Amino acid sequence: MSAFPFRPAGTLLALTLMAATASANENNAPVVPFGVLDFGAGMLPPPSPFATIGVRAASFRGDRLVDANGDTAPVGISQTVNSYGFAVIKMTNHTLFGGTWGWAAVLPVLDMSIDLAIPTPDGTLRQSGGNRAQGDLQLTPMIVAWQPAPNLFVNASLSLQAPTGAYDKSRLINAGVNHWTVSPAVAFTYLTAGGVEVSSNVMVNVHTENHATHYRSGTEYQHEFALGRHVGAWTAGIGGYYIAQLADDKINGATTSGNRSRVLALGPAVQFFDPPSGWPLVTGHFYKHVMQRNRADGNQFAVKAAWTF
């Protein structure tokens, strides 16, 4: 068997389908999507006459708030985020920094609901809210892909999340977050001669202030990864993500200490890719939170597909 029969350079819609999940930032808003990349994170589609189109559906369920010490918070929560994303990624034959340049755009739609049970001296205060609407548009004006070796794929990108999603500061939860986010990222995929794949994507998210509430979420480190084995058209293994705030949130310019969030999620991931069959590339995973601080405990299921035209 050839060492790398599984896919040519650039087959996965890497940087795609950024349909958001749930975060414990301001108003439990989905600030930056996560749990998006797993196998093939370092790979990008090849240059084509048109583009690569991707779709993704994901569902997050959270049923417990965890405080800064890892204990269950007194506030009860039931949170659901169903998200649907449509992505376009276009790689070109133009060179930049010794690699191939491309761009991407992702439009998510979110169906979100949250129920809170807040203990007070006068009893439990219950609050509920929801929002089904377009989320924030994500633009990636610069993607550069390299292939330093036949079995190593690397790319770097700069993404902008624009405040185009539905937002109302009086709502308990919103599909949009009403601020800009700038996200530089670097990713790689390494394939061994035996068919083992290691993929990783590291991103830093820098948020601006929400001028409606004067709240600014702290800068985040976001790491997504996968380890698996190729067998024919299938790849199976484990994936996950780790997200940690590097800076405190701010309200009206004042730092709010003690509420930095972090989360580690792990679970099975599988991918099907067989170009001669005519079927799209399809990937699915189920991730469970195994550690979290100042976040909702829960799990995420996602499936995505990509076609290059």
The residues near 154 (Cβ < 8 Å, ≥ 6 apart) are: 42, 145, 146, 147, 148, 186, 187, 188
pLDDT of residue 132: 95
Q: Give residue-wise pLDDT tens across range 176-206.
A: 999 999 999 999 999 999 999 999 999 999 9
- The pairing of strands 196-207 and 152-161 is unpaired
Q: Give residue-wise pLDDT tens across range 243-293.
A: 999 999 999 999 988 889 999 999 999 999 998 888 999 999 999 999 999
Mind giving me the DSSP string for 88-106?
Answer: EEEEEEEEETTEEEEEEEE
pLDDT of residue 31: 63
Please name each of the domains of the chain with its CATH number: 26-308 (2.40.160.40)
- Does residue 222 register a pLDDT over 50? yes
Q: Give residue-wise pLDDT tens across range 121-178.
A: 999 999 999 999 999 999 999 999 999 999 999 999 999 999 999 999 999 999 999 9
64, 296 contact by CB (below 8 A): yes
| Single-letter residue type at 308 | T
Which residue in this structure is represented by tokens 């709502």? Answer: 171
Mean pLDDT of the chain: 88
265, 290 contact by CB (below 8 A): yes
**What gap in Å lies between CA 74 and CA 255, rounded to an integer?**
23
| pLDDT-above-70 percentage for the chain | 90
- Does residue 9 register a pLDDT over 80? no
